[in-house]
Chain A
Amino acid sequence: MNNATPGAQMKVRNIHKRFGAFTALNDVSLDIAAGELVCLLGPSGCGKTTLLRCIAGLERQDRGELYIGERDVSELPPQARDYGILFQSYALFPNLTVEANIVYGLTGSGREQARQRVVEMLQLVGLSGSEKKYPGQLSGGQQQRVALARALAPAPSLLLLDEPMSALDARVREHLCTELRQLQRQLGITTLMVTHNQDEAMLMADRIAVMNNGQVEQYATPQAIYDQPATPFVAEFVGQGNWLPFQRSGDSQAQVGGMSMRLSPGSARASSGRLFCRPEAITVNPPVHEENLFPAKVREITFLGNRCRMSFEFKALPGHALLAELAPEAMPRLGSQDIWVALPPQSLQVFA
């Protein structure tokens, strides 16, 4: 396998796109390094698909530039941009065999060379011997691989994936995510993937661009997105979280209801706002004393197999439901309805 054929780097500069009165993309910029896999993550209508279609040349941006490698492709038609794309529906041509589908984009090469290429590509995606089948005779997962082989066959310098997993059932999805990621690493092709599924994004991406209302809210590694969300939207959209209203009472002190909580020294300087905390960062009935330990009441416990989800409220903040995630073995420690809950200072993030 030749790893010395990395994809090109990709630059998106100040892209604007409106549909009538609706602003689909508002000054979006993004840098993708060569060989990187970047996910555009966001709710429907956030502009992620529009951005992908602008890059593909299927929509024309109102303003801004696009570069693939060093080449300015902003004004080029789709055929001249040099990318491969995998659509949500795969868009395999049903009247052509697998082989004819893959050869479709290989116009510049000779017949024998193209045939050789088909064999190579099918081997790459693990479908050797399916040349003569029609797409309708393959399963959803197999169709996706053929579509991928077709997209990669002309050796594009950029691969675009438009919600590639959404037509598959949940069982095969995770498996195919891992496979696709491996393949992408192996080929070193620069890849941009659109998804609304955070698990997929977490599983596959080198970096995730979380989008909302036509803007990129945060562009960082999956871990940074999860651990240090840049905006309340990112915190809310990715994973689960708890919100607590606070008033600043000191440099690293905040008042939440009647409780005085310690904040980590580096946290934002807002004088009031909301504290954010992931459910799994919360400790319940710790065996030794911890900071920010307060009495609370259990509302409900849901068993989820490998973990338990507990809904509770602080006695000082009645009616404000919060979530904690616990290992099942922590359950016996709960004992009664009345518990103690600790919110470690380093897990509390401050938003104005």
Chain B
Amino acid sequence: MSLPLNPVKAASRHGVALGDRLFVVGGKWLLLMLLVLAVLMPLLAIFWRGFSGDAGQGGGLAAARALFASENFHWLLGNSLAVALTVAAIVIPLAYLFAYALQRTLIPAKGLWRGISLLPLLAPSMLPAIALVYLFGNQGLLRGLLSDNIYGFWGIVLGEAIYTFPHALMILLSALSLADARLFDAASSMGAGPWRAFSSITWPATRQAVFAAFCLVFTLTITDFGVPVVVGGDYQVLALEAYKAVVGQQQFGRGALICLVLLVPALLSFAVDAWLRRRQGEAMSGRAQVFEPKPSRRRDACFLAIVLVVCAVLLLVIGMAVYSSLVTFWPYNLSLSLKHYLFEDTAGGGWLAYRNSVTMAIGTALIGSVVIFCGAYLMEKTQSQRLLNQSLRLLSFIPMAVPGLVLGLGYVFFFNLNGNPLHVLYGSMGLLVICTIAHYLTTAQMTATTALRQLDGEFEAAALSLKAPLYRHFLRVTVPICLPALLDIIRYLFVSAMTTVSAAIFLYSPDTILAAVAVLNMDDAGNVGGAAAMSTLILLTSASASLLLAAASRGLLRRSQAWRQRAAAA
């Protein structure tokens, strides 16, 4: 037997190295450029716009002083804070109980409850609000149950609570998913009852997630204008004011100033959360034994009751929205028809808006997942260019702390700037895709990073020692192994792009109007039936896409079972 094969030619070796440099260094610089253009510059534009005093736009230092001192502003701020805190106070305990029921008890049909509870994620924030109008509005189905109509504080709170519930639930589900059975055994061996075990083991391990969920709910609520637009009535909040300042009154400076105010709680909670995360450290060691709840009828009955009530409310609200979209003429002609789905009598954009949304969502999902996954790979698996890696990480964490409303306004300021060569993008589908990717970048990238970190750190070194170019290794090994995570990113980006209004509301043109924006416009024009129909369409589209991708993922896992299962066990 002889060892030497064809000695690899020096020329091809250099070709390999050159290709890799292009892939690694070129990829990183390209990513940096994209992040600077799509994240950093728009944010800087907000500051610049907020503090420059162009006449008639309500910006500048003097205008800022006047705005922050005005009665009206204090009223708006108070309203926003009251709503956000009330929503958080309702949602967090409920979501915690719900998550606890799914992860730490033995209630039946967990998958079903989980599916129902995540439904609001698939629709824009206006959908629960529209349903509330049909339920408790002046001509609502259950109007008699309330002494006053729903428009105002409680309408906003209820709508936001339903909208934010699944967001909080996802954080708490993952926090409660892992528990070390040995800790509970140790506690019960020392005579601790279930309450003691909860307060000394479960609560300390999850309180950081509770805080994170609180921050998320608070930020989502305070920056959302979809719900207040529909059920706010005379009760005004800051996010709505910023929206109206820009879209209604062309007061860009004033909008920027309010955005800066809205940025404060987001940045603050983000910083505290990051600090807490670092302090908490690794909660689960690799050797932990998975906790299995023990049967307890009373506990399960209680939790099942809570879960049933929450699911019933969610189904009622979503069902109401779907039902109302099918009713011919509320409340006088309750026969069912598809009349609202023709979108004839409105200027909302109709089916054009829907087609645009699907196009935008597909573009966002495909382009976004490729860019984000490649970026995460380069940051995670190549050690050279340390400074570049750090700035990329920092930049890609910013969108997490920036509400969509703020980002969208930043895009208006930056891309609408005179003399910016990128101005051609303004109002185009391309810019909507870019903005949506930037908005949802951080979560998608964290999914990618988590998946990549589970791979053996020496894979790249092994590939290099075998003289294989890195990009080929990326395509042949990394991508196939991470395909489930990649599908998850695609699903997340698709659904987010279908439902988003916050950033897109400032960026569309008549040709590129989106479905979620159409919902808002139709509701504004009094065509609530059309708005309900469009919301339902969005919900159905997101749901089918999610189911399709879940099926694809399952099929993929089955096909690759030969290596995946055992590799995981080894």
Q: Mark A80-104, 1 if CB is under 8 A from B, else 0.
A: 1011110111010111100000001
- Chain A, 30-64, CB within 8 A of any chain B CB: 56-58
Chain A's closest residue to B17 (CB) is A77
- Closest Cβ–Cβ distance, residue A84 to chain B (whole Å): 6
Contact among B464, B562, B563, B568 with A78 in the assembled complex (CB-CB below 8 Å)? B464
Contacts of A87 in B (CB 8 A): 458, 461-462
Q: Are B467 and A107 in touch, CB under 8 angstroms? A: yes
Tell me, in angstroms, the Cα distance from A135 to B480 when the chains sit together: 15
| Contact mask for chain B residues 535-565; partner A; CB cutoff 8 A; 1 contact, 0 none | 0000000000000000000000000101111
Q: Which one of B1, B8, B456, B476 contacts A120 once the chains associate, using CB atoms below 8 Å? A: B1
Residues on A with C-beta less than 8 A from B480 are 95
Residues of B423-457 contacting chain A, CB below 8 A: 456
Given known A-B contacts A104-B463, A105-B467, A136-B565, A79 and B1 have beta carbons under 8 A apart: no
Q: Across the interface, do B477 and A91 meet the contact criterion of CB distance under 8 Å?
A: no
In the complex, which residues 178-196 of chain A have their Cβ closer than 8 Å to any Cβ of chain B? Answer: 187, 189
Most buried by B among A109, A137, A154, A160: A154
The listed residue (B5, B458, B565) touching A91 by CB distance below 8 A is: B458
B469 CB-CB contact with A under 8 Å: yes
- Is residue A117 contacting chain B, with contact meaning CB distance below 8 A? yes
Closest Cβ–Cβ distance, residue A149 to chain B (whole Å): 12
Q: A302 on the interface (CB 8 Å rule)?
A: no
Interface residues on A, range: 35 or more
Contact between chains at A134 and B562 (CB < 8 Å): yes
- Report A296-314 CB contacts with B as 1/0, cut-off 8 Å: 0000000000000000000
Interface residue? A277 (CB, 8 A): no
CB of A230 to closest CB in B, whole Å: 33
CA of A113 to CA of B16 in the docked complex: distance in angstroms? Answer: 22
Contacts of A77 in B (CB 8 A): 17, 20, 464
- Say yes or no for B294: interface residue by CB 8 A criterion: no
- Give Cα A231 to B566, complex, Å: 47
Residue interface bits A142-168, CB-to-B below 8 A is 1, else 0: 000000001111110000100000000
- A79-B13, A120-B1, A136-B570 are contacts. A91–B469 as well, Cβ < 8 Å? no
Is the Cβ of A154 less than 8 Å from the Cβ of B458?
Answer: no
B456 touches A91 (CB 8 A): yes
Cα-based distance from A79 to B12 in the complex (angstroms): 10
**A104 engages B468 (CB within 8 Å):** yes
Residues of B within 8 A of A104 (CB): 463, 466, 468
Give how many B residues have a beta carbon under 8 Å from the other chain's beta carbons.
Answer: 42
Contact with B along A114-142 (1 / 0, CB 8 A): 00010010011000000000111100000
Contacts of A189 in B (CB 8 A): 3
B461 near A113 with CB under 8 A, answer: no
The residues of B that contact A136 with a CB separation of less than 8 Å are 563-570
> 8 Å CB contacts to A: which residues of B375-408?
none
Is B567's CB under 8 angstroms from A80's CB? Answer: no
Query: Does A319 lie at the interface of the complex (its beta carbon under 8 Å from any beta carbon of B)?
Result: no
Q: Report yes or no: B5 in contact with A79, Cβ–Cβ below 8 A.
A: no
Shortest beta-carbon distance, A25 to chain B, in Å?
17
Contact between chains at A107 and B465 (CB < 8 Å): no
A107 partner residues in chain B, CB cutoff 8 A: 8, 12, 467-468
A335 at the interface (CB under 8 A from B): no
Selected from B5, B13, B463, B565, the residue in CB contact (under 8 A) with A117 is B5
Q: How far is the CB of A352 from chain B (nearest CB, A)?
A: 42
CB neighbours of A151 from chain B (8 A)? 465-466
Query: Would you call A84 and B465 a contact (CB within 8 A)?
Result: yes
Which A residues touch B461, using CB under 8 A? Answer: 56, 58, 78, 85, 87, 91
> Are the C-beta atoms of B2 and A56 separated by less than 8 Å?
no
Residue B366 lies at the interface, judged by CB distance under 8 Å to chain A: no
A121 to B438, CA, bound (A): 49
B278 within 8 A of A: no
Docked-complex contact B5 and A56, CB < 8 angstroms: no
Residues of chain A within 8 A (CB-CB) of B467 are: 79-80, 105, 107, 154
Please name all residues of chain A whose beta carbon is closer than 8 Å to the beta carbon of B16 when the two chains form the complex: 79-80
**22 A-B residue pairings within 8 Å (CB atoms):** A57-B464, A58-B464, A80-B467, A91-B462, A93-B476, A94-B481, A94-B567, A95-B481, A106-B5, A108-B6, A108-B12, A123-B1, A124-B1, A134-B563, A135-B563, A135-B570, A136-B564, A137-B562, A151-B465, A151-B466, A155-B3, A155-B4
Nearest 6 Cβ contacts at the A-B interface:
A105-B466, A136-B566, A136-B567, A78-B464, A134-B563, A94-B567
